[in-house]
C-alpha cells in the first residue's frame, strides 16, 4: 500500500530522503491489520508537511502468544503468536532492513497487563534484537476494539442500530471485556451466544466489525487515549 509518510532518519537532510519507506507492521490478528491500515491512512492523509512515499506491509498473527524464555532460540513448532515470533523476526529485520528507509510498527493488546510496563519491556526487546532499527510500539488498552469504540460516529455509521445507551456507559480504554462489550452494543442479545461459543467465531466477527467500522474512523475525534498516545506521542515523536 502506498501513501505519504515521514521518517525520523530523514528530517535533517531532505536530499537523502528515500523514494520509498518500507514499513513492517506486526499485529496480533487480521482484524487488527484492518484497523491499523485505515487508522494510518486517515492519520497520514490529515498531515500537511511534505513526505516520501511509503509501502505498508501488514503482518497478522494468530494471537498475542508469549515471549520465549530463550530470546535467541528458533521459534518452536506450532508457535504462531506475535510474541512467540517477535524476537526472531526482529533479528531478521535487523539483518535485512536498512535503518535509513525502514520502520517497524508493533501493535498489541495490553489485556490485563500494565500498559506502561508492557510498552517498556517491548522497547527493551526491540533495542536488543534489532539495535538501530527505527520502531514504534502501540499498546491498545484493553484491546484494539477500544479504538473502534473511541469513535461513536464511525460505529453508528457502520451499524445504525448500535445500542447508544449501552455505549454511553462505556469508560474509554477501561479493562471491562472490551470486545464483549462491543459485541453487546452491535448484536444485542445475540452477543451472548457469540461470547459462549468463543473462537474461531469471535475472530470472524472481530474482523467483520473492523472492516465495517474502521473506514469511517477519524483519528482527530477518536477518544481512545491509547490510540492518541500511539499516534501523537509515538508516531509524532518519531516525526513519521
Kindly state the average pLDDT of the residues 148-158.
Answer: 98
In angstroms, the CA 113 to CA 135 distance is 21
Flag whether the pTM goes above 0.85.
yes
Digit-coded pLDDT (tens) for 51-63: 667 899 999 999 9
- Structure letter (DSSP) for residue 66: -
Structure confidence at residue 12 (pLDDT): 37
Instruction: Tell me the β-bridge partners of 2.
Output: 55
Q: CA distances (Å), 86 to each of 94, 108, 153, 209, in order?
A: 12, 12, 35, 27
Res 72 pLDDT > 80 = yes
For residues 31 and 212, the answer to whether their CB atoms sit within 8 Å is no
Kindly state the average pLDDT of the residues 84-97.
Answer: 97
Q: How many residues does the chain have?
A: 240
> How many C-beta neighbours within 10 Å does residue 73 have?
10
Res 219 pLDDT > 50 = yes
131's grid cell: 539495535
Q: How confident is the model at residue 65 (pLDDT cuts 50, 70, 90)?
A: very high
Q: What region does 171 belong to: left with phi over 0, alpha with psi -120 to 50, or beta?
A: beta
Amino acid at each position: 500500500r502506498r501513501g505519504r509518510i515521514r521518517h525520523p532518519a530523514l528530517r535533517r537532510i531532505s536530499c537523502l530522503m528515500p523514494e520509498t519507506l518500507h514499513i513492517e507492521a506486526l499485529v496480533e490478528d487480521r482484524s487488527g491489520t484492518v484497523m491499523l491500515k485505515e487508522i494510518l491512512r486517515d492519520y497520514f492523509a490529515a498531515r500537511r508537511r511534505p513526505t516520501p512515499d511509503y509501502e505498508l506491509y501488514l503482518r497478522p498473527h494468530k494471537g498475542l502468544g508469549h515471549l520465549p524464555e530463550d530470546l535467541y532460540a528458533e521459534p518452536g513448532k506450532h508457535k504462531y503468536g506475535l510474541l512467540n515470533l517477535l524476537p526472531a523476526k526482529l533479528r531478521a529485520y535487523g539483518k535485512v532492513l536498512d535503518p535509513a528507509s525502514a520502520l517497524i510498527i508493533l501493535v498489541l493488546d495490553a489485556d490485563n497487563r500494565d500498559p506502561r510496563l508492557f510498552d517498556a519491556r517491548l522497547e527493551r526487546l526491540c533495542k536488543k534484537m534489532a539495535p538501530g532499527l527505527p520502531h514504534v510500539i502501540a499498546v491498545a488498552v484493553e484491546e484494539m476494539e477500544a479504538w473502534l469504540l473511541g469513535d461513536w460516529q464511525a460505529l453508528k455509521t457502520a451499524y445504525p442500530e448500535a445500542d447508544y445507551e449501552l455505549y454511553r456507559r462505556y469508560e474509554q480504554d477501561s479493562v471491562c471485556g472490551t470486545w464483549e462489550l462491543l459485541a453487546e452494543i452491535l448484536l444485542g442479545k445475540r452477543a451472548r451466544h457469540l461470547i459462549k461459543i468463543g473462537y474461531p467465531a469471535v475472530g470472524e466477527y472481530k474482523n467483520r466489525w473492523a472492516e465495517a467500522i474502521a473506514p469511517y474512523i477519524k483519528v482527530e475525534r477518536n477518544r481512545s487515549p491509547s490510540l492518541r498516545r500511539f499516534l501523537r506521542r509515538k508516531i509524532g515523536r518519531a516525526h513519521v
